[in-house]
Chains A and B, each alone.
Chain A
Amino acid sequence: MKRNDDTQVDVQLSREEIRRYGRHLLMPEVGLEGQKKLKASSVLLVGAGGLGSPLGLYLAAAGLGRIGIVDFDVVDSSNLQRQILHSSEDVGKPKLQSARKRIQGINPDVEVATYETRLTSENALEILQEFDVIVDGTDNFPTRYLVNDACVLLGKPNVYGSIFRFDGQASVFYAREGPCYRCLYPEPPPAGLVPSCAEGGVLGVLPGIVGTIQANETIKVLLGIGEPLVGRLLLFDALKMQFRELKLRKNLSCQMCGEHPTITHLIDYEAFCGINPPPTDDERSGEFEMTVEELKKRLDEKNDVFVLDVREPHEYEIVNLGGHLIPLNDLPARVHELDSSREIVVHCHHGPRSQRATEFLVQLGFKKVKNLMGGIDEWAAKIDQSMVRY
């Protein structure tokens, strides 16, 4: 891959910069010209979380000219296990604020551009076009497809990384030279079928490893050296400490980057991924749903309520409501343990798993089953603050 190759880079390095980047300058693959290219380059990080953290730190240290970050979250204490851009003192503050502080602490010469917004079909092209390389460190399918499509439309390389539990994936999607994300996965899974990290967990070091691989690929793409992961999907298994590589080929009938693309502008990615808009308060008081306040009232009034916990046993060990434990995956085989004549309130950690369990039970003919909205976490936040949250 060649970028910026024939263009003489019109920046200079100061005496201090030559000293700072000395270890880069010693290598002919980077050298003075390469370091100037980095200084003239710009990279956009979509997400300042697990993957964005090592990316931000290493790209700043490497002497990138400009780093853009798109994020709209605030730092939560449960982020600190892996999101090393942020510190304990940053809890409750916008991630962009701590990211900027850390990056400028490492390298004050880097210009940091922050976008406190959700990346949307309306703003993506405008934001992405300001940068040479886009790095995808998001946590959801709609944004991944949005980033991919916007990169294809703008002709920009998309340095991809994704993680789940102990597994990581990385690639470089660059439609001008190889496949795009849609060549690999033409369609996303329906909402709810694949657990997210918030549900499935993730080893804290894993985004560190995958994010630094993305940083490595970003620098190679910017310098036009080596063999970036174009047309290859790198798989990493942290438990086995094993890397594997799969071939990715351009799909000639890809809707986005194939010979006759049918997608020529950004679409509604939430709808594409089957995600409905969040329910309004009226809709939330649905037939098969219950609020934590309502459950508290029922229990206080000693109503007959059977609490069903569909989390995993190791989660039950952390904290529980004393409910009957049947992990979601075991529910079909153990449904005989439930008495359909009793009122059953199903809960999990935050709600998605218990919603699936509720839908499953309703399909089986259970009439008096309700999903506890917000799960045990909402109970701990609103009803019993002495309970631990995880």
Chain B
Amino acid sequence: MPTKVLIPSPLRGYTEKQETLLLEGESIDELLLQLTTKYPALKKHLFSEDGQLRKFVNVYVNDEDIRHLQKEQTRVSPKDVVSIIPSIAGGKR
């Protein structure tokens, strides 16, 4: 059973404009691997060159930051919703 992954609008240019993806995987690691295999251009936006999740990209399982769970090893089930929340800065101009 796949898990729902929500793609934020700044990154939808790399997922053929799709905002919701259903991906197979039992952990965040596995979901992100599937995501970047399917959409390789996303990789540099999510991971730094040493393969670490970038510090301005936050991943949530439901309403909880994975940094406060088991990080990329956090387990997911089909009833969870995974959100990728990058920092955005707009406001004035």
Contacts of B89 in A (CB 8 A): 138-141, 144, 162, 194, 196
Q: Which residues of B sit under 8 angstroms from A9, Cβ to Cβ? A: none
CB of A196 within 8 A of CB of B87, answer no
A341 to chain B, nearest CB (A): 27
Are the CB atoms of B56 and A187 closer together than 8 Å?
Answer: yes
Indicate which residue in A49, A189, A233 contacts B54 across the interface (CB closer than 8 Å). Answer: A189
Cβ of A323 within 8 Å of any chain B Cβ, yes or no, is no
Q: How large is the interface on B (under 10, 10 to 19, 20 to 34, 35 or more residues)?
A: 20 to 34
Tell me if B55 and A246 are in contact (CB < 8 A): no
Binds B, one of A14-22, A164-172, A279-287, A378-386: A164-172
Q: Could you tell me the distance between the alpha carbons of A194 and B45 in the complex, rounded to whole angstroms?
A: 9
B78 an interface residue at 8 Å Cβ cutoff? no
Q: With contacts A136-B91, A163-B90, A194-B89 known, is A246 near B56, CB below 8 A?
A: no
Q: Are A207 and B91 closer than 8 Å at their CB atoms?
A: yes
Q: Does B23 interact with chain A (Cβ within 8 Å)?
A: no
Interface residues of A in 209-236 (CB under 8 A from B): 210, 233, 235
In this assembly, does B8 line the interface, its C-beta being within 8 Å of a C-beta of chain A? yes
- Give which listed residue, B8, B85, B93, contacts A197 with CB less than 8 A: B93
Within 8 A of A (CB), among B11-58: 13-14, 41, 45, 54-56, 58
| A161 neighbours in B (Cβ, 8 Å) | 91
Partner of A235, one of B14, B64, B85, B92: B85
Interface string of A192-214 (1 = CB under 8 A from B): 01111110101000010010000
A185:B56 contact, CB within 8 angstroms: yes
State how many angstroms separate the Cβ of B7 from the closest Cβ of chain A: 11
Contact (Cβ within 8 A) A137 B9: no
Whether A52 lies near B90 (C-beta < 8 A) is no
Known: A186-B55, A245-B63. A200 touches B10 (CB 8 A): yes
1/0 contact string of B45-86 vs chain A (CB within 8 Å): 100000000111010100111011000000000000001011
Interface string of A339-360 (1 = CB under 8 A from B): 0000000000000000000000
In the assembly, what is the distance between CA of A249 and CA of B60, in Å? 12
Task: Judge if B1 is at the interface, Cβ distance under 8 Å.
Answer: no
Verify B8–A167 contact, CB threshold 8 A: yes
Given A139-B90, A202-B90, A332-B41: A194 touches B14 (CB 8 Å cut-off): no
Give the docked Cα–Cα distance between A371 and B51 (Å): 31
Chain A residues with CB below 8 A from B10, complex form:
164-165, 194-195, 200
CB neighbours (8 Å) of B9 from chain A are 164-167
- B86 x A194 contact (CB < 8 A): yes
A51 within 8 Å of B (CB atoms): yes
Is B56 within 8 A of A137, CB to CB? no
In the bound complex, how far is the Cα of B10 from the Cα of A220, in angstroms?
A: 31
Asked if B91 and A49 sit within 8 Å, CB to CB, the answer is yes
Measured in the bound complex, the distance between the Cα atoms of B14 and A193 in whole Å is 13
Which residue of A has the minimal Cβ distance to B57?
A189
Q: A374 at interface (Cβ–Cβ under 8 A)?
A: no
Beyond A140-B89, A245-B63, 7 additional contacts (C-beta under 8 Å) are: A47-B91, A50-B93, A73-B92, A137-B91, A187-B55, A210-B91, A246-B64
6 closest cross-chain pairs (CB), A and B: A49-B92, A139-B92, A197-B90, A47-B92, A187-B55, A164-B88
* Sample of 16 A–B contacts (CB below 8 Å): A47-B92, A49-B91, A49-B92, A50-B90, A51-B92, A141-B87, A166-B9, A167-B8, A167-B9, A185-B58, A189-B87, A194-B10, A202-B90, A244-B83, A245-B63, A246-B60
